[in-house]
Chain A
Amino acid sequence: MGQIIVMTSGKGGVGKTTSSAAFATGFALRGHKTVVIDFDVGLRNLDLVMGCERRVVFDFINVINGEAKLGQALVKDKRVDNLYILPTSQTRDKDALTKEGVEAVMEELRKEFEFIICDSPAGIERGALMALYFADQAIIVTNPEVSSVRDSDRILGMLAARSRRAELGQAPVTEHLLLTRYDPSRVERGEMLNVDDVLEILAIPLLGVIPESQAVLRASNVGLPVILDETSNAGMAYADAVARFLGEQVEHRFVKPVKRGLFSRLLGRPA
Chain B
Amino acid sequence: MMVLKLIDPTCETFFSGLSEKVRLAPNFFRNAAVVLDLDSLPDAQDCDFGDIKARLRDCNLMVVGVQGGHRLQHEAALRVGLPLVPTGRPSRAESRQAAGQTGAGRSTLVIGDMVRSGRQIYAPGGDLVVTAMVSAGAELLADGHIHVYGTLRGRALAGLSGDANARIFCLSLEAELVSIAGLYRVNEDFDPAIVRKPVQIYLKEGYLCLEPFSPVGR
Binding site for B on A (CB under 8 A): 124, 150-151, 153-154, 156-158, 160-161, 201, 203
Contacts and interface: CB of A to CB of B under 8 A. Distances in A.
A158 B137 CA distance: 13
A104 B155 CA distance: 41
Contact of A203 (B114, B118, B137): B114
Nearest to B113: A160
Given A201-B135, A203-B133, A154 B118 contact: yes
Q: Which of A151, A157, A158, A161 has the most CB of B within 10 A?
A: A157
A154 B137 contact: yes
A203 B134 CA distance: 11
A128 to B, nearest CB: 13
B65 to A, nearest CB: 46
A153 B137 CA distance: 9
Contacts of A153: 116-118, 135-137
B24 to A, nearest CB: 36
A161 B138 CA distance: 14
Contacts of B119: 157, 161
Closest 4 interchain pairs by CB? A157-B116, A153-B117, A154-B117, A154-B118
B26 to A, nearest CB: 42
Contacts of B113: 160
A157 B117 contact: yes
Given A150-B135, A157-B138, 17 more contacts: A150-B136, A151-B117, A153-B117, A153-B135, A153-B136, A153-B137, A154-B116, A154-B117, A154-B137, A157-B117, A157-B118, A157-B135, A161-B119, A201-B135, A201-B153, A203-B114, A203-B133
Contacts of B117: 150-151, 153-154, 157
Interface of B: 113-114, 116-119, 133, 135-138, 153
Contacts of A124: 118
A235 B135 CA distance: 32
Nearest to A124: B118
A141 B121 CA distance: 27
Nearest to B150: A203
Contacts of B114: 203
B59 to A, nearest CB: 46
A201 B116 CA distance: 10
Contacts of B116: 153-154, 156-157, 160
Contacts of B135: 150, 153, 157, 201
A9 to B, nearest CB: 13
Contacts of B138: 157
Given A157-B117, A157-B119, A203-B114, A150 B133 contact: no
B166 to A, nearest CB: 26
A132 to B, nearest CB: 14
B122 to A, nearest CB: 15
Contacts of A160: 113, 116
Nearest to A146: B136
13 contacts: A124-B118, A150-B135, A150-B136, A150-B137, A153-B116, A153-B135, A154-B118, A156-B116, A157-B116, A157-B118, A157-B135, A157-B138, A203-B133
Contacts of B118: 124, 153-154, 157-158
Contacts of A150: 117, 135-137
A3 B189 CA distance: 48
A188 to B, nearest CB: 23
A108 B114 CA distance: 35
